[in-house]
Amino acid sequence: MDTYEIRTFGCQMNKHDSERIAGLLASMGLTEAGEDQTADVVVFNTCCVREKADERLYGQVASLKAAKTAGLDTLIAVGGCIGQRDGAKLLRQLPHIDVVFGTHNIARLPQLLTAAAEQRDAVVEVLEAGEGDFTSDLPTLREHPWHAWVPIAVGCDNFCTYCIVPYVRGRERSRTFEDVVAEVGRLVADGVVEVTLLGQNVNSYGRDLYGQPRFAELLRAVAATGIGRIRFTTSHPKDLSDETIAAMAETPQVCRHLHLPAQSGSDRILKLMNRHYTAGSYLALVDRLYTAMPDLALTTDLIVGFPGEQEDDFAGTMQLVEAARYDQAFTFIYSPREGTPAATMADQVPHDVIQERFDRLVAAIQSSALAKNLPLVDTMQRVLVEGASKRDPRMLLGRTGGNKVVHAPCPPELRPSGLAGRFVDVEVQEAQTWFLLGSLRG
Ligand code: SAH
Ligand code: SF4
Ligand code: F3S
């Protein structure tokens, strides 16, 4: 075993876990395989939130099988949420897998790989959620040296009726306040300028440990470490407090961006989804947010075609989209997940009906995104540079606090990659639906 490759699917929590996996493999002496090399170890960090994510694993493992039958000794490890959900069952459908692990035992991957290599037989280890969940004391190989994911809680207690996450990630468990703040402090010392605090529902952070949420307080404490920028995801609307809105508004390090999944704009569907808010209370919350932060970038998740969704329910979603003035939205076609209550609800919506609604929703989101970007023309934006633009290597690419992609020509004496991880001021000259164009100032 000399080289590895990690293929990551799913949410930011998985991206973070993959950085931990990379750190563990590096500490075993492995290096990342080159692009046209077949790695000795291929790790799939999987997601099962929608059916499409499931299917991708099957396709990709099948194509790796060819390498195995060609005599290459590639070890295939499958972890993440499909590993957690299916365990040994995976081997029945994908017998070429060597290691199956779950979301609670990432730290064990080196031992599992070694065992699989020695016994030439598949090794399966999937644990129930419990002790030893936090991977924060594991080595990490960050994708960008200047950015870090920081999990503040894992798992979820909300049981939205369509969602499999609580079943594969377990109940919500928060990290201690001191632990989170100390980790960010170490990251700052290590050159990190932006952190993204992660949890399925960051707004309830601390409730399990302290009897009440401490997210607002955590934002202020993390800002005091000297970090340049703080992002966080995800916020459940039912738990977003006025105290958190105030902490966001008053803390300059906290980005003026909130991802606030609405899922639907129909009260009837929201109830069936077990979301604990109405379209009206969601929009009242949005009003409070824009009042406190008029320049806030607001993004969301929306599901089309939840069981029983009628045309007037969908009309509610379209109205909500118009009223909330989103900067961006992730739109999903409802995907039944076995074991969740919604999968067996009556009135599953036919695919062609969903597709037609989905197309209308995507068009509405596009015009909303452009409408939010146009007023940014002629403003100055503080941009964190990520590197060179893929379209033109002389242009730099970065993001505003509102998480908008910005392209700007790089000064001729500098290279965009040399500016990665640095803050620059950009004057915006042009706004498109999904990006801004500007030039460097100062
Ligand atoms: N904890 C986060 C996000 C979890 S999954 C939250 O509550 O916002 C990310 C998104 O996937 C969800 O917001 C939802 O819009 C979508 N999603 C989850 N399960 C789904 C399903 N079965 N079908 C379609 N979309 C789904
Ligand atoms: Fe899933 Fe709902 Fe939990 Fe988000 S809050 S992870 S959508 S159950
Ligand atoms: Fe997917 Fe698991 Fe995240 S199911 S969305 S990778 S928590």
Task: Say yes or no to pLDDT of 85 above 70.
Answer: yes
Strands 153-154 and 173-174: antiparallel
Judge if the beta carbon of residue 10 lies within 6 A of ligand 3.
Answer: yes
Ligand 1, atom 3: nearest CA belongs to which residue? 200
Confidence class of residue 61 from pLDDT cuts 50, 70 and 90?
confident
Confidence class of residue 63 from pLDDT cuts 50, 70 and 90?
confident
Mean pLDDT (the chain, rounded): 94
Per residue in 250-293, pLDDT tens? 999 999 999 999 999 999 999 999 999 999 999 999 999 999 99
For the beta carbon of residue 202, count every other beta carbon within 10 angstroms.
25
Q: Answer for the pair 277, 317: CB distance below 8 angstroms, yes or no.
A: no
Q: Which is the closest atom of ligand 2 to the Cα of 275?
A: 2
CA of 81 relative to ligand 3 center, distance in Å: 6
Judge if the beta carbon of residue 331 lies within 6 A of ligand 1.
Answer: no
In this prediction, residues 421-434 reach a mean pLDDT of 97
**Residue 137, Cβ density class (10 Å: 0-12 exposed, 13-18 middle, ≥19 buried):** exposed
Q: How far is CA 440 from CA 342, 378, 390, 406, in A?
A: 50, 12, 18, 11
Ligand 2, atom 5: nearest CA belongs to which residue? 158
Structural domains of the chain ordered from first start = 3-125 (3.40.50.12160), 147-374 (3.80.30.20), 377-441 (2.40.50.140)
Judge if the beta carbon of residue 236 lies within 6 A of ligand 1.
Answer: yes
Confidence class of residue 361 from pLDDT cuts 50, 70 and 90?
very high
Judge if the beta carbon of residue 400 lies within 6 A of ligand 2.
Answer: no
CA distance 34 to 28: 18
CA of 203 relative to ligand 1 center, distance in Å: 16
| Helix, coil or strand: residue 103 | coil
**How many percent of the chain have pLDDT more than 90?**
86
- Give the mutation target among 11, 126, 330, 335 for probing the ligand 3 site: most ligand atoms within 8 A of CB: 11
In this prediction, residues 72-79 reach a mean pLDDT of 90
Q: What's the confidence (pLDDT) of residue 134?
A: 63
Judge if the beta carbon of residue 314 lies within 6 A of ligand 1.
Answer: no
Query: Which ligand number lies closest to the CA of residue 44?
Result: 3
Q: Which is the closest atom of ligand 1 to the Cα of 235?
A: 8
In this prediction, residues 122-128 reach a mean pLDDT of 93
Q: Which is the closest atom of ligand 2 to the Cα of 156?
A: 3
Query: Which ligand number lies closest to the CA of residue 11?
Result: 3
CA of 430 relative to ligand 2 center, distance in Å: 37
pTM of the model: 0.95
Query: Which ligand number lies closest to the CA of residue 330?
Result: 1
Task: Say yes or no to pLDDT of 137 above 90.
Answer: no
Confidence class of residue 3 from pLDDT cuts 50, 70 and 90?
very high
**Residue 45, Cβ density class (10 Å: 0-12 exposed, 13-18 middle, ≥19 buried):** buried
Confidence class of residue 302 from pLDDT cuts 50, 70 and 90?
very high
CA of 234 relative to ligand 2 center, distance in Å: 9
For the beta carbon of residue 226, count every other beta carbon within 10 angstroms.
12
CA angle 359, 362, 366 (to 5 degrees): 140
Judge if the beta carbon of residue 234 lies within 6 A of ligand 1.
Answer: yes
In this prediction, residues 298-308 reach a mean pLDDT of 98
Judge if the beta carbon of residue 25 lies within 6 A of ligand 1.
Answer: no
Tell me which residue of 404, 255, 237 sits closest to 328, measured CA to CA.
404
Strands 41-46 and 75-79: parallel
Judge if the beta carbon of residue 198 lies within 6 A of ligand 3.
Answer: no
Query: Which ligand number lies closest to the CA of residue 335?
Result: 1
Confidence class of residue 298 from pLDDT cuts 50, 70 and 90?
very high
Judge if the beta carbon of residue 306 lies within 6 A of ligand 1.
Answer: no
Confidence class of residue 142 from pLDDT cuts 50, 70 and 90?
very high
CA of 136 relative to ligand 3 center, distance in Å: 18
| Half-sphere exposure of residue 244: CA atoms within 13 angstroms, side-chain side | 21
For the beta carbon of residue 196, count every other beta carbon within 10 angstroms.
18
Judge if the beta carbon of residue 337 lies within 6 A of ligand 2.
Answer: no
CA of 132 relative to ligand 2 center, distance in Å: 22
Q: Which is the closest atom of ligand 3 to the Cα of 169?
A: 7
Per residue in 364-397, pLDDT tens? 999 999 999 999 999 999 999 999 998 888 999 9
- Give the mutation target among 44, 47, 101 for probing the ligand 3 site: most ligand atoms within 8 A of CB: 47
Confidence class of residue 408 from pLDDT cuts 50, 70 and 90?
very high
Ligand 2, atom 2: nearest CA belongs to which residue? 160
Judge if the beta carbon of residue 167 lies within 6 A of ligand 1.
Answer: no
Judge if the beta carbon of residue 165 lies within 6 A of ligand 2.
Answer: yes
Judge if the beta carbon of residue 165 lies within 6 A of ligand 1.
Answer: yes
Judge if the beta carbon of residue 82 lies within 6 A of ligand 3.
Answer: no
